[in-house]
Amino acid sequence: MKTIKLFTLFMAVAVISSCEKDQVSEITSDNMVQEEPEISNQLRQKVSDLNFNSKHIKKNNMLLPDGSFIENYLIEGDIAMSQEQMNTMSSASITDKQYRTYNLVSTPRTVNVIGYTGGSQALTNKQRNALSWSIDNYNALNIGITFTLTFGTNYGPYDIVVYQNPNEQAGGVAGFPSNGNPYKYVQIYSGMEAYSTNTNEHVITHEIGHSVGLRHTDWFSRQSCGQSGESANPDGAVHIPGTPTGYDSTSVMLACFGANEDGEFGSNDVTALNYLY
């Protein structure tokens, strides 16, 4: 999930979602996640060993466009990850401080995206415009992955489907790539309709970033969510040349987002994406 304080771009090699700068919300309530009683100490340790923030984990039934659900865990508020994914990850594979996941999308690659238009999971006109802007921004980078975009309901053949979760919250959810493919399901919460098209663009860009392998740049401290200090161990991360080692307030990959985001990549986001792809 994601609440309203989004991303600062540190990327990490693992497989897995954000908040808000004006404390509007965080793609998942910090309090809800910290107090989740069903998370074992063993699972928290596994998440910590993979260099994710182990204080922000909850069980999740993820809504799909057809109305069905899949079970997984939400990590850091908006990152969907299954137990199987956690078991196949290796902490030795975590490699960046503009953090990315250990699985990336195979390149060169055309990623076909569909904005869902059916029923209660349909994107609003505002969300459709924001998705179009986000795809344009990714394609403007001229990296090793390019995106196509269409709108409709037959999402099966597509690599990524972007759809609405009618939960009246603000934020979104996505996961990390596997087998060289982007994570298929990108949720945008219906509460985003209360925000500008630019802020919707920001959230969508952030979630697609997870889908192609980017993680929260402030995963270790969640500073964008109003927290301070290093609450997670950053060991095992190697800095990407040309990107900062500290907090980057301009990143679209911060864990939390503000109410008045411009929806654009920060310069370090661009550097990191060019490095990876």
DSSP code, position 121: G
Instruction: Write the CA distances from 13 to 58, 97, 102, 259, 276, integer angstroms.
Output: 21, 10, 3, 29, 11
CA–CA separation, 268 and 63 (whole Å): 32
What's the pLDDT tens digit per position in 183-200? 999 999 999 999 999 999
Is residue 37 over pLDDT 90? Answer: no
pTM of the predicted structure, to 2 decimals: 0.78
What's the pLDDT tens digit per position in 227-237? 654 444 444 34
Structure tokens of 246?
A: 């500290």
Say which residues have a Cβ less than 8 Å from residue 255's Cβ, sequence separation at least 6: 5, 6, 7, 8, 18, 19, 26, 27, 76, 77, 216, 218, 219, 222, 224, 225
Question: Based on the number of CB atoms within 10 Å of its own CB, is 108 exposed (0-12), middle (13-18) or buried (19 or more)?
Answer: exposed
Token look-up 């899949």 returns: 70
Residue 240 has a pLDDT of 66
